[in-house]
Structure 1
């Protein structure tokens, strides 16, 4: 069964570790290397991606994801086109409504009508070098290629919008077979509404990942990542998101108490890590959003996901020893899918 894998990380200290990971991924069986965009918590994403571009030759690279609130579309178009030129045409552009980059500035995530306007503007800047955006004419005169645009999406409306407009979608709704099949259906519906062939849409699933011979320790280390997935996937509405009725109040509580200033920060005593235990959501969120366990357990879960239709997996490596994790993935997990 053919499955593609990517790595999604953060430009944290020491950044040299991520460059080592990028080079390992490029020389291994990975298809994508991406970085989050969160100016308040991590290093500047496009500078970091330029360094990744220089260290790699094969993988796709890009932000996963930027947003329309902290970056004007002309700035984004110029930045990613520069990375694309350095990388020899390997860049992709991930866009979402905004998480820690936005909330740490006291803002709220973008509405879907803003997302639509932003994506359309970017596509026209890449192809026509000029467009109308928020009532003004804007220009980026020099890009040579239309960089593929991927939208981060969780709910039915955002998944349909991605199917209508984008080259691909980064799906954060979850990894259970029911959720996977429903997400695919929503993306395909959007594509058909826009007169597109659904097969044209490159669908990736965001997967919080920690593979270890000690599954319980891996689960403990990943609690803050599970909280981040829940907060992001469920923050606007639970409608159409397959949350069991008996867990609705607990999910609402994790949204209320989530600390954006600690978004995806490691540490057993971090507020977001403790939330998962306090609310009794650890096992549910791990099954819903994560690939956590021994290599054999993770291989089995990947096969179940692939059978449901999730065959492109963007693995987030939010652990203390990232290099060890990527080596374990390469040698003991990805080897089963070559």
Structure 2
């Protein structure tokens, strides 16, 4: 199982680059960032520095979207980075949450997401694609250029799209039951589309907080540092409930039931420990969705996920123990998973 690191592009960018270097030394294979340019700094500028100052790390957004950038710009950006540093990027993409809503836009439809995924991949790999009615090709891209496109998804239609089209699936939670359910949906869709389901890379992304022991105090602190994640996932869950209704059978109640007391969401606190809009998230959800506890507990949960077909676990490190978590994974988790 690969291990990735997910960070927000808070200033100073130098610190983020240093943490990505630290992660590469510790054995992490992927470096991811958020892409929400009003809330944080422009990620692709930072990606160029990460790539320049690491040797092997694969870098990408978790996730970009079809609405805040023209598709040919996104494709050219990835292609430029790959031309400069080798094929070391991956395009994580979804409908858009914070990036779109902070700018007063609605998340993209799945049809638009699908069209963007196709166009970005084709253009970045040197082939023709249609963008807004015009057929384009980027002429300077060399043979051998590659850009994997991984889709973030939760709902049944998005999971089906992922299985039909994407090179990878990003699931932003680490609950084994939900992981099994959603991975099966993606693989079933891949089979139905005539694809080999093993060709779809499975990436689970969630906060990991490594404690020294499993004492109540240590676990309580870790939960408070990671509770924000249940609120972030809750934004997507609220969309699913609005679309499919409660107890629809199309989305597991194990995913949707916890947002019943959700009152709203202020994106100024998005993705941050102490987010006041996540008080509705119970400890049970934090424990299910995140990976919390000493190294042996981290390994036990990651082994569960690996047994379900997960190829990468991406560590969301938006808490007060970023560097100690990187170091703990490098010392006690990654060697065991290798």
TM-score normalized by structure 2? 0.89
Gaps in structure 2 of 5+ consecutive residues: 213-217
- SS at 2:268's partner residue? helix
- SS at 1:302's partner residue? helix
Verify the 8 A CA contact 1:11 1:35 in the aligned structure 2.
yes
Match 2:56 to one of 47, 58, 81: 58
Aligned to 1:211: 210
Verify the 8 A CA contact 1:66 1:95 in the aligned structure 2.
yes
Instruction: From the superposition, tell whether residues 167 and 244 of structure 1 become closer, same or farther in structure 2 (CA, over 3 Å).
Output: closer
Where does 1:107-256 land on structure 2 (aligned, <5 Å)?
Answer: 107-144=105-142, 145-172=145-172, 174-213=173-212, 214-237=218-241, 240-244=250-254, 248=257, 250-254=258-262, 256=263
Residue 76 of structure 2 corresponds to residue 78 of structure 1: yes
How many residues end up aligned between the 2 structures? 325
Instruction: From the superposition, tell whether residues 291 and 234 of structure 1 become closer, same or farther in structure 2 (CA, over 3 Å).
Output: farther
CA deviation after TM superposition for structure 1 residue 312, in Å: 1.6
CA deviation after TM superposition for structure 1 residue 146, in Å: 3.0
Q: In 2, Cα distance between the equivalents of 1:96 and 1:85?
A: 25
- SS at 1:48's partner residue? helix
Where does 1:258-277 land on structure 2 (aligned, <5 Å)?
Answer: 258-266=265-273, 268=274, 270-272=275-277, 275-276=278-279
CA deviation after TM superposition for structure 1 residue 311, in Å: 3.8
Verify the 8 A CA contact 1:230 1:285 in the aligned structure 2.
no
- Shifted more, 62-71 versus 290-299: the winner is 290-299
Instruction: From the superposition, tell whether residues 128 and 48 of structure 1 become closer, same or farther in structure 2 (CA, over 3 Å).
Output: closer
RMSD of aligned Cα (Å) = 2.0
CA deviation after TM superposition for structure 1 residue 164, in Å: 0.9
Aligned to 1:283: 283
Verify the 8 A CA contact 1:162 1:168 in the aligned structure 2.
yes
CA deviation after TM superposition for structure 1 residue 309, in Å: 2.8
Verify the 8 A CA contact 2:26 2:326 in the aligned structure 1.
no
Gaps in structure 1 of 5+ consecutive residues: none
Aligned to 1:312: 312
Verify the 8 A CA contact 1:129 1:142 in the aligned structure 2.
no
CA deviation after TM superposition for structure 1 residue 190, in Å: 1.8
Verify the 8 A CA contact 2:9 2:43 in the aligned structure 1.
yes
- SS at 1:169's partner residue? strand
Where does structure 1 differ by over 4 angstroms across 4 or more consecutive aligned residues? none
Aligned to 2:215: none
Aligned to 1:98: 96
Q: In 2, Cα distance between the equivalents of 1:316 and 1:36?
A: 10
- SS at 1:151's partner residue? strand
CA deviation after TM superposition for structure 1 residue 49, in Å: 0.3
Verify the 8 A CA contact 2:2 2:28 in the aligned structure 1.
yes
Q: In 2, Cα distance between the equivalents of 1:222 and 1:74?
A: 36
TM-score normalized by structure 1? 0.89
- Shifted more, 130-139 versus 25-34: the winner is 130-139
Verify the 8 A CA contact 1:234 1:241 in the aligned structure 2.
no
